């Protein structure tokens, strides 16, 4: 038996805490610096995933986890304790670790995003960054990549995250998400109904098979809600993190985009169906509390610190597990001093609409 395993568990806990490494931000990219991917003329295409960045408030040293089964188990248990702690635990941070932590998070063109995300960290909660329907520059111009799979980095760090009971998600959606799901035009509805009637008439005379129930539902109920891109991404994350009980989901938008994009005066109008429904339809079986926040972020020139201004906050608490009943409290409005100042500078008119309501929702 080694000397370390021969001493009492309490002393080993002190040693493990002393060896614990400070917070680190990982990216889904295999390379820390992706500057070459954004150069004009580059024919490289960066792989994209559901997750973009992973913030670990602390991490156990790899050499301890690979020593033996007992030390690995004790190291993971100590890490779980720190990850689910209600207060920040002081961890000594060396200059070398600061440099390494910063280098891991380097992504060309994402400095503003990372500054805004770090501004909201509390030093104890696991944080994942997601991008939804955001365009990316490739060798042939900008396009919206498909983000369906979790990154290899996420899967490699999963043993350090799967016991987390608190999770923070930062979502950067593009205009297409803020503008709401695509709607079927009246002309397309008429074409679908006409095609269905043609199929029914042909079936009655014995020329074709009977239309399926899916086809009938598609044409008869065009208002059927579609899966939201954010809900799908959140579901993929929660399916891998089954212990999460508290979820803090922040939807970020740059202040310039908030007023420059062709969005309604009430900025959350087009995404109201997402706000009214469950956070996801897959995963999250242990969820007890959910917070959704629509936040405007900005950064002053030559300043590394980003500022935030929430304009819509929705708190959801599961009041009945059997019936999956949730108590929802929401407040929203654009009458914050910062928005008033911007509106005055740009001669804008802010909407008088505000939200302050409480109700119960039952999820199927």
249 φ, ψ to 5°? -110, 115
Please give the sequence-ordered ranges of beta strands (E in DSSP) within 134-199, or none if there are none: 136-138, 141-143, 166-173
Residue-wise pLDDT tens for the chain (364 aa)?
577 788 888 888 888 888 888 888 999 876 655 544 444 455 556 788 999 999 999 888 888 888 888 888 888 888 888 888 877 666 665 444 443 444 455 566 678 898 899 988 888 899 999 999 988 877 677 788 889 899 999 999 999 999 999 999 999 999 999 998 766 655 666 676 777 777 666 666 666 566 555 555 555 544 444 668 999 999 999 999 999 999 999 999 999 899 889 999 899 999 999 999 999 988 888 999 999 999 999 887 666 678 889 999 999 999 988 888 999 999 999 888 888 887 777 777 888 888 999 999 998 7
DSSP codes of every residue in 68-89: -HHHHHHHHHHHHHHHT-SSPP
Instruction: Count how many Cα atoms sit within 13 Å of the Cα of residue 245 in the half-sphere of its side chain.
Output: 5
CA dist 160 and 93 (Å) reads 19
pTM score, whole prediction: 0.81
Q: Cα–Cα distance between 59 and 74 in angstroms, integer?
A: 13
Residue spans per domain, the chain: 3-183+242-362, 186-220
């Amino acid at each position: 038996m080694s000397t370390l395993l021969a001493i009492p568990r309490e002393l080993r806990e002190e040693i493990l805490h002393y060896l614990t490494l400070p917070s680190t931000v990982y990216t889904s990219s295999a390379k820390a610096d992706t500057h070459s991917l954004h150069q004009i003329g580059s024919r490289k295409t960066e792989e994209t995933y559901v997750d973009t960045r992973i913030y670990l408030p602390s991490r156990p040293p790899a050499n301890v986890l690979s020593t033996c089964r007992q030390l690995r188990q004790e190291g993971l248990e100590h890490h779980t304790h720190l990850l689910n702690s209600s207060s920040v635990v002081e961890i000594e941070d060396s200059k070398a670790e600061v440099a390494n932590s910063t280098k891991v998070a380097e992504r060309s063109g994402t400095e503003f995003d990372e500054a805004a995300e770090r501004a909201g960290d509390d030093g104890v909660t696991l944080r994942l960054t997601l991008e939804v329907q955001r365009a990316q520059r490739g060798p042939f111009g900008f396009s919206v990549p498909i983000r369906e799979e979790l990154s290899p980095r996420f899967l490699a760090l999963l043993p350090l995250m799967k016991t987390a009971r608190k999770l923070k998600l930062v979502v950067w959606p593009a205009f297409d998400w803020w503008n709401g799901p695509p709607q079927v035009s009246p002309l397309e509805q008429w074409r679908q109904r006409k095609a269905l009637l043609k199929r029914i008439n042909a079936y009655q005379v014995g020329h074709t098979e009977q239309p399926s129930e899916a086809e009938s539902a598609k044409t008869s109920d065009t208002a059927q809600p579609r899966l939201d891109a954010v809900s799908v991404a959140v579901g993929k994350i929660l399916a891998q993190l089954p212990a999460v009980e508290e979820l803090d989901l922040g939807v970020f938008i740059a202040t310039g985009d908030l007023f420059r994009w062709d969005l309604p005066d009430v900025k959350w109008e087009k995404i109201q169906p997402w706000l009214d429904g469950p956070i996801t339809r897959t995963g999250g079986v242990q969820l007890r509390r959910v917070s959704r926040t629509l936040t405007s972020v900005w950064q002053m020139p030559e300043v590394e610190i980003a500022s935030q201004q929430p304009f819509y906050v929705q708190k959801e608490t599961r009041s009945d597990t059997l019936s999956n009943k949730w108590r929802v409290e929401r407040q929203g409005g654009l009458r914050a001093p910062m928005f008033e100042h911007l509106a005055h500078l740009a001669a804008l008119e802010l909407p008088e609409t505000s939200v302050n309501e409480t109700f119960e929702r039952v999820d199927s």
